[in-house]
Structure 1
Amino acid sequence: MKRHWAKLAAIGGGTAAALVLALDLAFPLPRMARPDPGPGQSTLVVLAADGTPLRAWASEDGALRHPVTLAEVSPLYLQALLNYEDRAFRWHPGVNPKALARAAWQWARHGHIVSGGSTLTMQVARIVDPGVQGKSVGAKLRQILRALQLELHLSKDEILTLYLNQAPMGGMIEGVEMASRAYLGKPAKDLSHAEAALLTAMPQSPSRLRPDRAAARAQAARDKVLDRMQTRGVWDAATVKDAKLERVFAPPLRAQWLAPLAAERLRQQRRPDEDALIRTTIDAGLQMRLEQVLADRIGVLPVKVSIAALIVENEHAEIRAYAGSVDFGDASRAAHVDMVRGLRSPGSTLKPFLYAMALDQGLIHSESLLIDAPQNFGGYAPGNFQADFSGPVSVSEALQRSLNVPAVDVLERLGPARFAARLRTAGLRLRLPQDAQPNLSLILGGGSTNLEELVGAYTAFARRGIAVRPRLRESEPLVETPLVSEGAAFIVREILENGGRPGAPFRESEQRIAWKTGTSFGFRDAWAVGVTDRYTIGIWMGRPDGTPNPGHFGANSAAPLMKDIAATLGPQQLAPRRVPATVKAVPVCWPLGLAENLTAPAECLQHRLAWTLDGSTPPTLPDRLSGTGLIDVAWVDRQGRRTRPDCAAASVEPERVEFARWPTLVQPWIEPDERSPVERLAWSGDCAPRTATQGLRIVGLEPGSVLRPAPGHRQVELALQAVGAQQGLSWLLNGQAVGGVGANGGGPLKLTLARAGSQSLTALDGRGRYAQVKFSVQMPSAP
């Protein structure tokens, strides 16, 4: 209060002071004249990590403001403002007597107001109190009184700060910082001489001098300020000449929004008592590059298809780029639906976690033998995306090729409930239909999750097995959860990135990315997730309404986009890759799966080099269809032929020989020279062998047949039947599924063959028995 009375005395003695004080009490300052105008009066602005505005929402009075302090504004702007508008600002009491006298003389001479004699304080009075606006003498007097009142209550710096934050800058924009960001794309602290002059001139006529609509008029007004600065000796002639070379131009304001759905998300989460400036972890430059990559894809997207993309920095779990839709302005693609958080089927993107958990449980190593063949898991009979089967495959191959049947096989042994619980603990929740329990379909996309949770879990492959919850705000805590062991994370990442081949050299100088795709049932969702040392990148592509997008799947749509985004990130290698102490490369043998030094030479039918965890080389998973293990028994007579103990014609006391056999379901894919030498022995003529084909045969095609089209045709048509099938039947042509029938296997198979060359047709029943016919097709020469 003493300071106020001192100011009153300076204004004009006791009588004047008493009058001003009375008026001050009768007409208090408007709300907007306070340094902190209170909630609802500040623009809500969501910022990138470097302070770049991503998106802003108008305050209750419809203005867009970005509050700043004097220290956050370029000194060039303050120079231009004070020297152009009010050189006496620092010493006058709110009004400039000299300027007012000049304005009064001009009014008396011309009969109307020529110049208002306004000080910056008087301009602030007009800004904070619309009731004192106008050019009449009465309005001018009210401005003077408000200016004196402002000087009574506020310091010079506080008054100047009010101007910086509320000066009209065209349309809804107020204040130098918001104008600088909106029109110039930079903070006000980085203004050049030309830009400082432009923003000084704009409040003179904000609607006429907007650089996005009237660039020529704005440039002329800017040059007037530059000339004044030179005339008054503030800036030299060379500086002003260079400044005038800068062309005034600003793009449409809406085009400058960045990460609009991320900003909207934070706006919805904001509490009413929180600050109006929300700083995010988003990298503005990276966000712009991401949005440009997505914009380049719009022209080739089918109708109503959108894209969501997320880039998370691994070390601190910070979201660096966020695109909830492909184009925020395209309503036909449901642009306002944030698919970073949309719940969708993840397809095959969960398979890396399955194999990592199986490694930790000691069920597999990287080259464990898995079975890619038709199987029935208690009524659930999955197939592969390409509808073909390869027989024996390794864990590395099954994961790289995203084979479905081996993954379901491993999940059944691990347990779907355990799998889902482990993911949930690490932040990746699989939503199931009401009252449903985790089942084998989970690994093929039988639950729902979102892109954010999926990316957070994938960071574990770059963070020594520790998953994170992605952070969009700097103030959010870092939430880390162990998901798999460091060794399991390393092995799975090597499989996805380098093929899982321990002998292959690390590509330290190249862009390394471990990636996995996924496609949900009916082509509704296409996914790709990639992990580098520095970032984890996630892509979702599809229709937000959940309708199919035929022909688009993870590998052909999402993966190329993910790689293009990764290419914009620059070098990703943070340090030379090191193999964890728990991981070793060990030679192993198929079909048993054990370490080579633990396998008899005769039982090592195929050599492999595997990544193993904690020194363990677990054996091949038990054969589901055989009551025995993979060590089988044969009897050999004295002539070196196979026989059976129960054969009446067997030689006296045949020798009992143990040998390694392949799992029952992969037998159709195993060539004779890949089998144990014991299995290749001829049988004694009087002792019929008990083979996998016993009781099952193919009717309608003889082995070794050469088939040709009928005259005038370009294809071969066949009608075949399998006799003796039990527990279902699958037909495979060159490993690709071509049909299946019921439990009795009695239905016919109709084949149309249009490709010349060797062919292999296999009938495989539910008991693992098979019949196989090899033949060839010849096509007539073109006329």
Structure 2
Amino acid sequence: MRPLFAIWVCVLLGAGLRDGFDDWIDATEMPVIAVDTSVEVRDRNGTLLRAFPVEEGLFRLGARPDQVDPRFLEMLIAYEDKRFYRHNGVDLLAGLRAAWQAVWNQTIVSGGSTLTMQAARLLENSGTGDVAGKLRQMRLAWALERRLDKDEILSVYLTNAPYGGNIEGLRAATLTWFGKEPWRLTAAQAALLIALPQAPEKRRPDRFPDTADAARQHVIDRMIARGVVPEATSLAEPVPARRRTLPMLAPHLADRLRYDDDLTRTHQLTLDATLQAAVQALASKALHGRDPQMSIAVIVADHQSGEILASLGSANYTASQNNGFVDMSRAYRSPGSTLKPLVYGMGFDQGLIHPKTLIDDRPVAFGTYAPQNFDGRFRGQIAVEDALKQSLNIPVVLLTEDLGPAQLLAKLTVAGVDARRPGGSPGLAMALGGLGVTLHDLVTLYAGLANAGQSVRLSYHPSGQAGGRQVISRSAAWQVSHILSNIPPPAGAAQGHLAYKTGTSYGHRDAWAIGYDAKHVVGVWMGRPDGTPVPGAFGGDLAAPVLFDVFRLIKPELEAFPPPPPETLLLSQAALPAPLRVFQGRNAIFQEAQGPELVFPPNGARIGQSGDGVTLKLRHGVPPFSVLANDRLVLQGQYARELHLPDIGIGASSISVLDAEGHADRVQIWIGAPQLH
């Protein structure tokens, strides 16, 4: 009976000790396991675009075992904790071995800490130099093993391990030291990353390359001895000589996403990191040698899906001289001539014009508003398609006056453009850029033109493109695209099917180029962020070459537009219905015909003697025009409203002009030196 009693006593004592031990572990005060990690912005393929630091400028990127090269995990476990998958947090055999080696050698030969104990130490940021600290790690390691599985414990280690400076976590380390994610690592790279956390500052390869190399070699030697890597494993590749900066792609967009949603830790976007980096490099090149206060913004999108593929707010986010921190893709600026295609598209839909319709390019005035062409010249009657190609101002203002400025503003809203009007009611100057829009909204507008006239909602987040609203008809959109695709490209640019329009705002403050083919749409803005003029800046000279260069980055060849819709009216000017042959406007039938008016030279003008003749400028009247000088016919069959009168001699002259309907105007001028009395 006594032996049996003794056995029962031992069993009860053991059970009591076990229960007491379990209660002790269950009562462990746990640290926060889900530590704060850097907010990450990634592209469509998961590539890191930008990471934001956590506390005190620390970059800590989360990592799971399935995101890591399996060879690294195999080497890590073999080196740090070969019984990781068999123990319950504390490897008693390893601990006894470490204690025996320390006693025998009078120094620490190997550690007994398991990966779970190291994870516990990292969570509490505690040291390992005293017995109490080691006991605390053991208790916490046992507690962690009861709450987490092995992969979750590895994740804690891979996320919190220090790798020198302000870098924590394996993903931050591979990006910093090798410029890549930890999916594929060489044996030498894996060895360095295993050695670094043991002494992250003393083994930093950028500061102590010899120490780092020796630590790396020690890991490889252990791995060879244990058969984890082959004996022929080479460490020929040098340790990294410098730290790489973490990616800084689309920083303005990343700032905006973080500000709008500060709870999301990972933002997965539609951007393409490779294209974004190429666009950023191209933008820097485009500014090289130019006004140092200039900036640039670029947006690239797939107008079929609505996905934004690249978004650049400035060429250099940290530049102070040109306010690089300002996101110019979202700044409201005057769009210059870039709204003209929409005006003409509206005119096509309203039955007011056809691409072959003749429209006047002549001096006009609407009260005190007298628009001028950019070069100050007048072309007379010109085909609508040529007026758009040449970006003439007067024809589009005449058309806007007939359509109504309020209708233009309404169409912009339908297209997804948030136009900012400086004040007062919509005016005719809107057609020439007299309002504020963003590059993002202009690209949205042109995406709709490219999408058969149906509005497109551009987005940075993956989502199916829902059907938009019809801005202009598909036939009108095709006509606009056909005209824009026949605008000559900039010097040196390849010919293709790129429909594009340039724009220059008043005072040379903004240079624009927006273009599209059958799949992609690109917008480019250049100027000064502070809105001051850039002398000599034109959209065609500055922004258009960049636009074509961006398309070369996207694809080797442009994609051709589809054929015209069956309802598209494809006729010559002579074959058009009578109301479409010449633009008259809706109210032309109610207006009394106006005869021609000689606006230059004015009546009584004295003109210095010149053998080059006299320039005449006409307003109103119906071409063709005939001109008489001193009752002698000198010009006839003229359609232009700016005419060159040959040398008619010095002295007093009478100049008369007659239009096709017999109306006339006459002025008296004096050519040469004043008459002496």
The two structures share one fold, judged by TM-score above 0.5: yes
Match of 1:119 in 2: 114
Q: Is it true that 1:563 corresponds to 2:564 in the alignment?
A: no
> Are residues 1:329 and 2:318 paired?
yes
Is 1:149 equivalent to 2:177 in the alignment? no
| Residue identity opposite 1:618 in structure 2 | L
- Alpha-carbon deviation of 1:333? 1.3
Q: Is residue 178 from structure 1 mapped to residue 172 from structure 2 by the alignment?
A: yes
* Identity across matched positions, percent: 37
Q: Deviations over 1:256-301 (max 9, x none)?
A: 21111111111011153xx311111110000010011012233323
Given that 2:517 and 2:559 are in contact with CA atoms closer than 8 Å, whether structure 1 keeps it comes out as: no
Q: Distance in 2 between matches of 1:74 and 1:693?
A: 80
Q: In the alignment, what sits opposite 2:364?
A: 375
Query: Aligned partners of 1:297, 1:23: CA distance in 2, in Å?
Result: 67
Q: Residue 360 of structure 2: SS of its match in structure 1?
A: strand
Cα deviation, 1:69-92, whole Å, max 9, x if unaligned, reads: 322222122112111221111112
- Deviation of 1:628 (Å): 8.9
1:466 and 2:370 aligned = no
- State the one-letter code of the partner of 1:23: W
Look up the equivalent residue of 2:111 and give its one-letter code. G
Instruction: State the partner residue of 1:543.
Output: 528
Shift of 1:625: 12
Q: Which position in structure 2 is the counterpart of 1:680? A: none
Measured in 1, the distance between the counterparts of 2:87 and 2:54 equals: 32
1:298 maps onto 2:298 in alignment: no
Per the TM alignment, residue 341 of structure 1 is displaced from its structure 2 partner at its CA by 0.8
Cα distance in 1 for residues equivalent to 2:664 and 2:409? 30
Cα deviation code 1:634-670 (max 9, x no counterpart): xxxxxxxxxxxxxxxxxxxxxxxxxxxxx966x9xxx
Distance (Å, rounded) in 1 between the aligned partners of 2:136 and 2:56: 23
AA in 2 matched with 1:140: K
Matched to 2:169, the amino acid is G
How many residue pairs are counted as aligned between the two chains? 618
How far is 1:490 from its partner? 1.1
Q: Which moved more, 1:385-394 or 1:565-574?
A: 565-574
**Match of residue 55, structure 1, among 28, 32, 50:** 50
Query: AA paired with 1:88?
Result: R
Query: Shift of the alpha carbon at 1:183?
Result: 3.3
Change (3 A) 1:558 1:218: farther
Which residue is 1:421 aligned to? 410
Equivalent residue in structure 2 for 1:108, among 103, 106, 116: 103
Matched, 1:450 2:450: no
Gaps of 5+ in 2: 1-12, 489-493, 621-653, 673-677
Cα 1:463–1:96 change in 2 (3 A) is same
Contact 1:428 1:454 in 2 (8 A): yes
User: 1:619: how far off?
Assistant: 3.4
CA contact (8 A) 1:408 1:440 kept: yes
- Distance, in Å, in 1 between the alignment partners of 2:496 and 2:78 is 54
Change beyond 3 A, Cα 1:465–1:193 = farther
SS of the equivalent of 1:393 reads strand
> CA, structure 1 residues 26+484, in 2 after alignment: closer, same or farther (shift >3 Å)?
same
Q: Could you tell me which residue of structure 2 aligns to residue 17 of structure 1?
A: 18
Q: Distance in 1 between matches of 2:278 and 2:97?
A: 55
Distance 1:406 1:764, change over 3 A: farther
Q: What's the offset of the Cα at 1:570?
A: 1.6
Relative to structure 1, the CA distance from residue 474 to residue 693 in structure 2 (aligned partners, 3 Å threshold; closer, same or farther) is closer
- Identify which of 581, 587, 592 aligns with 1:619: 581
* Residue 258 to residue 374, structure 1, CA distance change in 2 (3 Å): same
Question: Post-superposition shift, 1:701?
Answer: 5.4
Alpha-carbon distance, 1:771 to partner: 6.2
Q: What is the aligned counterpart of 2:514 among 506, 519, 529?
A: 529
Q: Is the 8 A contact 1:366 1:396 kept in 2?
A: yes
| 1:624-639 → structure 2 map (5 Å cutoff) | none
1:351 and 2:352 are equivalent in the alignment = no
CA distance in 2, matches of 1:63, 1:119: 26
Q: Give the corresponding residue for 2:29.
A: 28
Following superposition, the deviation at residue 209 of structure 1 comes to: 3.9
2-structure distance, mates of 1:528, 1:235: 56
Deviating more after overlay: 277-286 vs 141-150: 141-150
Partners in 2 of 1:211 and 1:763 — Cα distance? 88
| 2: CA distance, partners of 1:212 / 1:664 | 83
CA distance in 2, matches of 1:45, 1:334: 25
Contact 2:417 2:437 in 1 (8 A): yes
Task: Provide the TM-score with structure 2 as the length reference.
Answer: 0.83
Partner of 1:224: 218
Distance (whole Å) between structure 2 residues aligned to residue 762 and residue 213 of structure 1: 87
Unmatched runs of 5 consecutive residues or more in structure 1: 1-11, 501-508, 600-616, 633-662, 668-691, 709-715, 728-760, 777-783
CA distance in 2, matches of 1:396, 1:726: 22
Q: Which of 196, 203, 210 is 2:197 aligned to? A: 203
Tell me if the contact between 1:693 and 1:771 (Cα under 8 Å) persists in the aligned partners: no
Q: Per the alignment, in what secondary structure is the counterpart of residue 572 of structure 2?
A: strand
Structure 1 residue 57 displacement after superposition: 1.6
What amino acid is the match of 1:553? F
Change over 3 Å in CA distance of 1:166–1:543 after alignment to 2: same
> Does the 8 Å CA contact 1:46/1:278 hold for their aligned counterparts?
yes
Q: 1:162 aligns with which of 156, 166, 169?
A: 156
Highest RCO, 1 vs 2 (Cα 8 Å, sep ≥ 6)? 2
The CA deviation string for residues 511-564 of structure 1, in whole angstroms up to 9 with x for no partner, is 431111111111111111111222111111111121222211211111112122
Provide the rounded CA distance (Å) in 1 between the counterparts of 2:664 and 2:547.
Answer: 41
Q: Which amino acid aligns with 2:436?
A: S
SS of the residue corresponding to residue 183 of structure 2 reads: helix
> Which stretch of structure 1 is more off in the superposition, 80-89 or 99-108?
99-108
C-alpha distance in structure 2 between counterparts of 1:693 and 1:165, whole Å: 78
Rate the CA distance shift 1:476–1:534 in 2: closer, same or farther, 3 A.
Answer: closer
Q: 1:295 to 1:726 in 2, by over 3 A?
A: closer
